[in-house]
Amino acid sequence: MARSGLLTRAYLEKILYLATQMLMAQPRIELHTGCFNPDSYCQIIEGNSAALSMLLQSAVDTDSLGQENGDVICQPKLNRALCFERNIGENLLAVYANEVAPMTAIASVVNAAIDTALTLTPTEMAAYRLSDELRALEWDRRVFSQEKHRPINTEETATADPSPFLLRSPRDRKLGVLLVHGFLANPGEMRPFGEAVHAVGYSVMGVRLKGHGTSPWDLRARTRRDWERSVHRRVEILRAYCEKSCLAGFSTGGTLALLQALTSSEVVAGIAAVSPVFRFRNRRMHLVPLVHGANRLLEWFTKQGDFLPFRPAETEHPTFNYRHMPVRGLYELTLLASTVKQSLSGIHCPTLIIQGTADPVVDHSGAAVIVDRPGGADK
């Protein structure tokens, strides 16, 4: 808080986020189901909640709040007694406060959130964010376990724990390690390597990319932006324990690690990318955009869904990987590879590329695309 009557936007967002966390922990307070969706309430603490922005703007438009350099100013109108004979839309925040005032349990939680927000440490915030990751996994599982998802889900063989993980080092280290799994897989794929890195003294975090570890239907609903946000969120969580991170990713995870080096260069100390996806052995991959376009047209015209939503996935690791590969996910993968390939010269941190010449999926010539691209990185 800068001065009386003025709140920084970041402080207000922290209060609302903490209040949501505390309210969910109150068994006697019943919240709308949507309040438990981390994808929704996490937007508050990440500073991109459209709902909060809309609410604040409506309050600014009616002179209940003001704005100054992005901060929020409480105007005298907020403290005026409500007159319900007038247009209550002129002071919506006061109306909401009036509705909640008799609910003493909620008022108590909000007051606690205000106090906690002032003293919350980065590691305490990271603990909340980690709980969000586990809650998101359970939420996504429930959403994509309906009757229409059952035929595909029952054919899946993955049994490895898909939970994101954090292995804290007992020693303070300035460098942590973030592990990013591949397309169709889950964090269990990276866990053994993570435990080996942790054994030599580093804090290690395993990312769960959105759409993975739940249902192929979930992956079908995700985009490359969702995967990018998954990595970025874990970088920010790990930042609470380490100043910088080294990102190690396999396949799609390697490509996403390279992308993170472009967008968060100040906290990425280095990259290790194993079989990053740039070129595919299967020449039919160039047909993916056509099939995806046909699926979208059919869905738009008939409302009956894709005519070819999934392709069978041949995998050497059925305990980690989906057996059904969504065509929409493949399309997003091609877009991700194209985006990163065009920006490789912007990577300036040390970069290690590992690629097998007999890789059954990724064409090994794609590794040369990274190594030969001009730029300041030690590759």
Predicted confidence (pLDDT) per residue in 128-171, tens digit:
999 999 999 999 999 999 999 999 999 999 999 999 999 999 88
What are the pLDDT digits (tens) for 342-366?
888 888 899 999 988 888 777 777 7
Please state the φ and ψ torsions of residue 320, each to the nearest 5 degrees.
-110, -35
Q: Which percentage of the chain shows pLDDT scores above 70?
A: 88
Q: How confident is the model at residue 2 (pLDDT cuts 50, 70, 90)?
A: very low
Q: Where are the domains of the chain?
A: 6-119, 123-372
Q: How confident is the model at residue 284 (pLDDT cuts 50, 70, 90)?
A: low
Q: Are 194 and 263 in contact (CB under 8 A)?
A: no
Q: What is the pLDDT of residue 74?
A: 83
* Interstrand relation of 175-180 and 204-207 (parallel, antiparallel or unpaired): parallel
What are the pLDDT digits (tens) for 41-98?
999 999 889 988 888 888 888 888 888 887 888 888 777 665 555 556 677 777 777 7
Please state the φ and ψ torsions of residue 307, each to the nearest 5 degrees.
-85, -20
What are the pLDDT digits (tens) for 257-267?
999 998 888 99
Q: How confident is the model at residue 189 (pLDDT cuts 50, 70, 90)?
A: very high
Q: Are 344 and 369 in contact (CB under 8 A)?
A: yes
Q: Among the ranges 5-9, 15-19, 284-288, which has the highest mean pLDDT value?
A: 15-19
Q: Give the closest residue to 291 by CA, choosing from 314, 308, 304.
A: 308
Q: Are 140 and 42 in contact (CB under 8 A)?
A: no
Please state the φ and ψ torsions of residue 282, each to the nearest 5 degrees.
-75, 110
**What's the CATH code, domain 123-372?**
3.40.50.1820
Q: Which helix (H) or strand (E) holds 274?
A: strand 268-274
| Cβ neighbours of residue 205 closer than 8 Å, sequence gap 6 or more | 164, 165, 166, 167, 176, 177, 178, 179, 234, 237, 238
- Residue 79 CA to residue 344 CA, distance in Å, equals 54
Q: Give the closest residue to 113 by CA, choosing from 37, 24, 177.
A: 24
Q: How confident is the model at residue 201 (pLDDT cuts 50, 70, 90)?
A: very high
pLDDT reading at 295 higher than 80? no
Lowest mean pLDDT among 73-77, 126-130, 173-177, 370-374: 370-374
End-to-end CA distance of the chain: 45
- Residue 276 CA to residue 278 CA, distance in Å, equals 6
The pLDDT mean for the chain works out to 86
> Alpha carbon of 31 to those of 23, 26, 37, 137, 328: distances in Å?
8, 10, 11, 20, 34
pLDDT reading at 288 higher than 70? no
Question: Number of C-alpha atoms within 13 angstroms, CB side, residue 4?
Answer: 1
- Residue 273 pairs in a beta bridge with 249, 353
Determine the residue type at 3.
R
The pTM (predicted TM-score) of the whole model is 0.87
Q: How confident is the model at residue 285 (pLDDT cuts 50, 70, 90)?
A: low
